[in-house]
Amino acid sequence: MRALSLVFVLAASAGLATSTLASTAEEARPTPGSGDTRAAQEGSAARAVVGQPAPDFTLQDHEGRTHRLADYRGKIVVLEWTNPECPFVVRHYNARTMQRLAQTLAGDDFVWLSINSTHHNRVEQTLESIQTYGLPFPVLQDQSGDVGRLYGARTTPHMYVIDAQGVLRYAGAIDDDPRGRSENPDNYVQRAVAALRAAQPVDPSSTQAYGCTVKYEGVR
Amino acid sequence: MVPNPAQVCHNAFSGEVPPGMPSSARTAVHRAHPLPPLCAHAQSARRRLLAFMRGPDLPAGTHPVAMGWTRPLHLTAGWLVLLVALVWAWMGPQSTLSAYAGPLPPPALLDGPPEVSAGAPVIAGTPLLQAVLVVEQDGYSPGTSLRAGAWVELAEGWHIYWRSSGDAGLPTELVVSAPGLEIAPLSLPHEALAPVVPDGDPLPARWPAPRVFEEGGGFILTYGYTDRVLLPFLLHVPEDAPDTTILEATLDYLVCEVDCIPGQVTLQRTLHRHEGPLARDAESAAFFDAWIEKIPPRVDAHPTWTIDWAWSHDELPRGREVEVALGITVCAEPSSAEACPPLALDERALLAFIPDASLGVAWEQPTAHPHPSASEGLLVRWVGAATPDHSPSPGALRGLVHLVHGDRPVVVEVNASREWASQDGGVAAQPSPLLAARPTAGTAMGGETPPAPALPRLPWWQALVMAFFGGMLLNLMPCVFPVLAIKAYGFAHLAQASGRAKAEQAVGYSAGIVGSMLLLAAAVIGLRWMGTEVGWGFQFQHPLYIALVGALLVVFALNLFGVFEVGVGQVDVLDRAVQRTHGIRRSLFEGVLAVVLATPCSAPFLGTAVGFALASPPLIILLVFATLGLGLAFPYVLLSSVPAAARLIPRPGPWMETFKNLLGFALLATVLWLLWVLGQTQGVDGLIQVLGFFLVTGMAAWIFGGAQQREGRSRPLGYAMAGAMVVASGGWLLDFPGAAERAPADRLVEGAISWLAWDEAQIPQHLADGRPVFVDFTADWCITCKVNERTVLSSSRVLDAIATHRVVMMKADWTDGNDEIREALARFGKAGVPMYLLYAPGRPQEPTLLPEVITPDMVVRAFAAALPSPPTMEP
């Protein structure tokens, strides 16, 4: 009798425990309430603010050369966050948006740096994509995602334009056409660089970037 | 002697050993006389249950007797069931799964009636996303409106986005057309009917409330749907509607898991005109009702709430900070709680506010305040940065707000806007009670300023006094509490005992504490002599230590559950001497345990006293630690020496068994905290290793307990087996990789504050930007630190102040040990965490030091003192 009651009790508790765990597991994906309200992601986490000096960084590119942002003081710097696995980036690369833009804007006062913050990216993959799409600019390797987080880069592509004095003047989308429908989209980067060269204010100075998420190291 | 069957029956259930019968004979009795089926006691289920729950009846002054091996298991199982039931009941109403998931469409909607085969809908799309058009009724009658929608099913793990995708992704777009019919978005009850959408235009999205997805450790937030969703709309049927029409919808989406795939799918469905009213299909109606219920209603159209908006500007200034407040009045006059449930922001939602895209203002998450005039209401305030760019549309606050009304989560849609000013600086609005003025330093300060940093140049006797009081206060810290509770339990025994026994207990406990403190001090001296600098709580930086302490606590808890006994071989008639020896040994052990658990906790005075000690010669260290120990033991010593205290404790009885088991659970709660600390540093793998070790240790304790019952050779064999199991599993499982393999700092901690890793070199730059810097020196194993972070630093007042004063929050995490942090602590006279520094702009060399016990008031005042007035955004 006692053994039976013990078995019953254990079975009941096991059943309850499993059902509790099952419901919590279901809720655990994607993400139910964590119990805390969140502040906006801007603020003290990312330090790239339009109108403020762009944060300095040092990264190596696909050929192992070291690039430091401060070394490019005196030039207009365009940072392009990229990930050749993302369909938005592929669409632009196939339409040669970045390639043509980089070549059109090229000059002694200009440098285009592409940055890949995908945590599982390997240099071989970068070399392959440079080959495939004919990319004329260096692709900096940021597997740790530190520079990406520093700049608050959330999408690929995500564009930043820094003026010759090192101040960030534009951050956001490459153009106003997320779905790729327009024949002649308004390219914000081209606008920003043209405005800087003409010593005009950059307008728009900040737009909502579109694209895939930057693949940082996963869920905590 | 032949036992009386009735006696055996009774004893078997109450577990009592008949007087004079040795425990081994009881086993023999059970074997010889299996339980008579017609046992009077056995038949009574109620008595059985009582015996099950109550436990043994104890004669006064008797040491609790360990019953057979099934008794503690029964009790533990009973408590486990209760615990699981409670957890399950608690989790049920709070399940958020029900908030998002909805019903599947009834088969009739998907397949269509078999007779009208021409109207069968087409399921189109890729396997990742399947969509179909569903319509509430099979045909349309002129002069009526019909609910329809795009039913989307997604492959597991994939999601599509809401009308605003968030930080990344692409909003989902639906374009619907039906020649001869009119398309409009849904409008909810109490709302005005939405205008018809011109053909070919995307449908304004009145869709179910989306989920929030986190990526990159919470760095990237997007909003959308997983699994399945209905995107509903309305079909208006004019009088001159055609006989048949093709309802066509194009769904433009981006479906993502880790990778993203853009796509477009065109859905079609043929509909027919039906003269006269159609019978409503209850199942279809229920399906649509369920999904439409998930659409957030417009807060302005709420039937009972009164809504007031207040903006900081009548015309918005470009490039500056703007504010908007939403006042919701639930009840103007006081009323009962049932008629007027309280309204608040939903703390359990991942985001209180989900913003729409392209509003011209970047809004931060809102803060909630009590409504200034309503008896029951809520004030929600947003602060935002207006874009410096020229935007064609007015600046707007638009999105979804997660509220909780009573205990029901409610999502509402908010929409308010203001035009842009033509001149710089905008046009300020009239002051409104909803946007009360922010306090400036002059008004809020009063006289109190935070203390300046102090270096430990105390006279040694003052340090001793601080150590003594610090030790006393340590008793109140959550780490030591279980031990105190155990002592209180032991007190029940002692209360009946002689003065001599009580004194012995007190001495034993004190000796245990002071002795371990001296050992700790010796360890510190030894480590320092060897060249390793350590601080208070240093041992918690080593996972092996945590594992061993945890195992010890688990074993202790099992002892309290009655799985085995400490110190006594025979479980039998008690001898005063036997009890005393057991009592003293146990008190000693409890004293050691108290010290072991106390070290990660910091109490007021403690930090300073220990800081002083660690900077002094070895003799002072020993003296301070010993005084600390005396302080820790003092309350118990005091209690046991006061005779009146004994009368307050009830006489020993069955309640003691229950209380003992409860204490076991309290100890297990402390083990949970230890596991959390370990999990932070070692991750899930380390956690499983340690839990495996606990499991084996538990089994070993059980075997040990069983061996205690046996006679002869099997007993030492049992002991040996238990010991071997522990050692073997310990050697195999307790192998932790070094701390260097852990990811470095810069972790983004969940919560409302965006923490930066502490970097002294960066502080001047922030101060030059005009932002005060607050540095939180903390560690995962420091409970006081964690409590402060969760209750004080995350309180809405402090969050408000952080946003207002643009404070940079830095975290110096000492969990793994770090020389720089230890040096910084020492520089300010502290030996351990927590430590709070506040740097004011313009004064990078003189931070203010906040005390270990902080309150939101203190922090807010300190922020206000660090900066005279709230800054405005530079264009």
Task: List, for residues B170-216, the tens digit of each pLDDT value.
Answer: 999 999 999 999 999 998 988 888 899 988 889 998 999 999 998 87
B874: contact with A, CB 8 A cutoff? yes
Q: What is the pLDDT of residue B475?
A: 79
Type of residue numbered B488: A
Q: Is residue A44 part of a domain?
A: no
Distance (Å, rounded) from C-alpha B402 to C-alpha B361?
Answer: 20
Domain that holds residue A115: 50-213
pLDDT band at B648 (very low <50, low <70, confident <90, very high): low
Question: With a cut of 0.85, is the ipTM above it?
Answer: no
* Together in a domain, A85 and A170: yes
- Whether residues A24 and A60 fall in one domain: no
Tokens matching residue B398: 């638009």
pLDDT tens digits for A72-114? 999 999 999 999 999 999 999 999 999 999 999 999 999 999 9
Residue B96: pLDDT over 70: no
pLDDT band at B638 (very low <50, low <70, confident <90, very high): confident
Q: Please indicate if any CB of chain A lies within 8 Å of the CB of B624.
A: no
Of B87, B350, B754, the CB nearest to A33: B350
Q: What is the CATH number of the domain that holds A205?
A: 3.40.30.10
Max mean pLDDT among B6-10, B291-295, B653-657 falls in B291-295
Report the pLDDT value the prediction gives residue A201, as an integer from 0 to 100: 92
Interface probe, candidates B49, B167, B223, B403, chain A, greatest A C-beta count within 10 A: B167
How many structural domains are present in chain A?
A: 2
Is there a single domain that holds both residue A9 and residue A86?
no
Q: Are residues A106 and A23 in the same domain?
A: no
Provide, as residue numbers in chain B, all residues whose Cβ is less than 8 Å from the Cβ of A87: 260-262
- A41: in domain: no
Chain B residues lying within 8 Å of A3, measured CB to CB: 70
Percent of chain B with pLDDT over 90: 15
Share of chain B above pLDDT 70, in %: 71
Residue A6 lies in a domain: yes
Whether pLDDT at A134 is above 90: yes
Window 167-186 of A: residues touching B by CB (8 A cutoff) are 178-179
B390 class by beta-carbon count within 10 Å (0-12 exposed, 13-18 middle, 19+ buried): exposed
Residue of chain B whose alpha carbon sits nearest to that of A89: B260
The tokens 């003065």 sit on which residue? B499
**A99 assigned to some structural domain:** yes
Question: Looking at CA atoms only, how far is residue B636 from chain A in angstroms?
Answer: 38
List the single residue in B88, B217, B346 with the smallest CB-CB distance to A20: B88
Average pLDDT over residues B761-790: 82
Supply the mean pLDDT for chain B. Answer: 75
State residue B61's pLDDT score: 41
- If asked whether residues A17 and A89 sit together in one domain, one would say no
**Chain B stretch 332-361, residues whose beta carbon is closer than 8 A to a beta carbon of chain A:** 345-352, 357-358
**Nearest CB neighbour to A216, from listed B217, B350, B755:** B217
Instruction: Check CB contact under 8 Å for A39 and B222.
Output: no
CA angle B571, B572, B577 (to 5 degrees): 95
Q: Is residue A8 part of a domain?
A: yes
Where does residue A29 rank: exposed (0-12), middle (13-18), buried (19+ CB within 10 A)?
exposed
Based on the fold, state whether residues A15 and A60 are members of the same structural domain: no
Query: Do A186 and A90 belong together in one domain?
Result: yes
Interface-testing mutation among B9, B38, B81, B351, with chain A (most A C-beta atoms within 10 A): B81
Residue A208 lies in a domain: yes
User: Would you tell me which residues 139-158 of chain A have a C-beta closer than 8 angstroms to some C-beta of chain B?
Assistant: 145-146, 149, 154-155
In angstroms, the first-to-last Cα distance of chain B is: 100
What are the Cα distances from residue B366, in Å, to B248, B324, B355, B403, B830?
A: 40, 10, 11, 12, 37
Chain B interface includes A25 (CB < 8 A): no
CB proximity A87 to B under 8 Å? yes
More confident: B635 or B95:
B635
Q: Please tell me whether residues A79 and A178 are part of one structural domain.
A: yes
User: How many whole angstroms separate alpha carbon B206 and alpha carbon B228?
Assistant: 16
**Is residue A85 situated within a structural domain?**
yes
Local confidence band at B120 (pLDDT 50, 70, 90 cut-offs): very low
Contacting A residues, span 45-64, partner chain B, CB-CB under 8 Å: 45, 50-52
Same domain, A18 and A59: no
Q: With an 8 Å Cβ cutoff, are A179 and B750 in contact?
A: no
Say if the Cβ atoms of B167 and A216 lie within 8 Å.
no
Q: What end-to-end distance do the CA atoms of chain A give, in Å? A: 48
Cβ-in-10-Å burial (0-12, 13-18, 19+) of B739 comes to: middle
How far is A94 from chain B, CA to nearest CA, in Å?
15
Q: Which residues contact A69 (CB under 8 A, 6 or more apart)?
A: A54, A55, A56, A57, A58, A77, A162, A166
pTM: 0.53
A37: contact with B, CB 8 A cutoff: yes
- pLDDT score of B447: 33
Q: Which of A59-63, B17-21, B103-107, B434-438 has the highest mean pLDDT?
A: A59-63
B842 CA to centre of own chain: 38
Most confidently predicted of B80-84, B132-136, B275-279, B640-644: B132-136
Residue A33: the pLDDT is 29
A21 and A98 housed in the same domain: no
Which chain B residues contact residue A147 at CB under 8 A? none
Q: Do B74 and A20 touch (CB under 8 A)?
A: no
Residue B81: list chain A partners with CB under 8 A.
Answer: 9, 12-13, 16
Inter-chain CB pairs, A–B, below 8 Å: 200
Measured CA to CA, the distance from residue B358 to residue B369 in angstroms comes to 27
Label residue B309 by pLDDT band (50, 70, 90). Answer: very high
C-alpha A35/C-alpha A67 separation (Å) is 42
In a domain, A160, yes or no: yes
Residue matched to tokens 């409590």: B787
Is residue A23 domain-shared with residue A102, that is, in the same domain? no
Residues A25 and A80 placed together within one structural domain of the fold: no
